[in-house]
Chain A
Amino acid sequence: DAGVIQSPRHEVTEMGQEVTLRCKPISGHDYLFWYRQTMMRGLELLIYFNNNVPIDDSGMPEDRFSAKMPNASFSTLKIQPSEPRDSAVYFCASSLTANNEQFFGPGTRLTVL
């Protein structure tokens, strides 16, 4: 198995632009998580899905952020419009069940100028 796949690995954009981050979880995993990591705030859970349904989006910073999971093998995190303070590394992770460990993707390093 290739593990959790994220794209792009790096994204540089200008303030006000729309950004879409993509994730393919490990096949058969029922849970998918989106995290944001910064030096100041550490690792923050943004949203997670169970069987493609969003369960807890309380970590989504504001309405500019949205996430979807149209099927079991694909999820997107969208920021529209982007701002410099959104610059961070965004991780996607998946797990088999709620009690299992999470498998993290390599992350997308987002820089908003």
Chain B
Amino acid sequence: AQSVAQPEDQVNVAEGNPLTVKCTYSVSGNPYLFWYVQYPNRGLQFLLKYITGDNLVKGSYGFEAEFNKSQTSFHLKKPSALVSDSALYFCAVRLRGFKTIFGAGTRLFVKA
């Protein structure tokens, strides 16, 4: 079955330290991959996407993600975390037929 997995329910990191939020996928064909962020009582906001080309994708607010085809992963990273980065992060993959499935989400806590 086609799926997206975010293995960590929660990630804790100190402000100023690098952060990584993990995502792995299982889909047929070449995937279109996305990261979204959700702040409390808000809708999801787009951060970045991978469709083709360079495996390292840069997005909003200093976030980046690395596409690794052999490991079927698309981990979200940021070199230096901010307290304001604390939120719920979703990985998503667009399937054939244009349906998009989302991971369960990872809650990021950045401590000052």
| Residues of A in contact with B (beta carbons under 8 Å apart) | 4, 31, 33, 42-43, 45, 48, 50, 55-56, 91, 93, 98-99, 101-107
B89 interface residue per 8 A CB criterion = no
Hey, which chain B residues are within 8 Å of A55, CB to CB? 97-98
> A101-B34, A101-B49 are contacts. A45–B101 as well, Cβ < 8 Å?
yes
Q: Provide the bound-state CA to CA distance between A33 and B34, in Å.
A: 16
| Residues of B in contact with A (beta carbons under 8 Å apart) | 32, 34, 36, 41-46, 49, 51, 90, 94, 97-105
Say whether chain B's binding surface is mostly helix, strand, loop, or mixed: strand
Hey, which chain B residues are within 8 Å of A98, CB to CB? 94, 98
Residue of B nearest to A109 (CB): B41
Hey, which chain B residues are within 8 Å of A107, CB to CB? 41-43
> A42-B104, A43-B90, A99-B32 are contacts. A50–B98 as well, Cβ < 8 Å?
yes
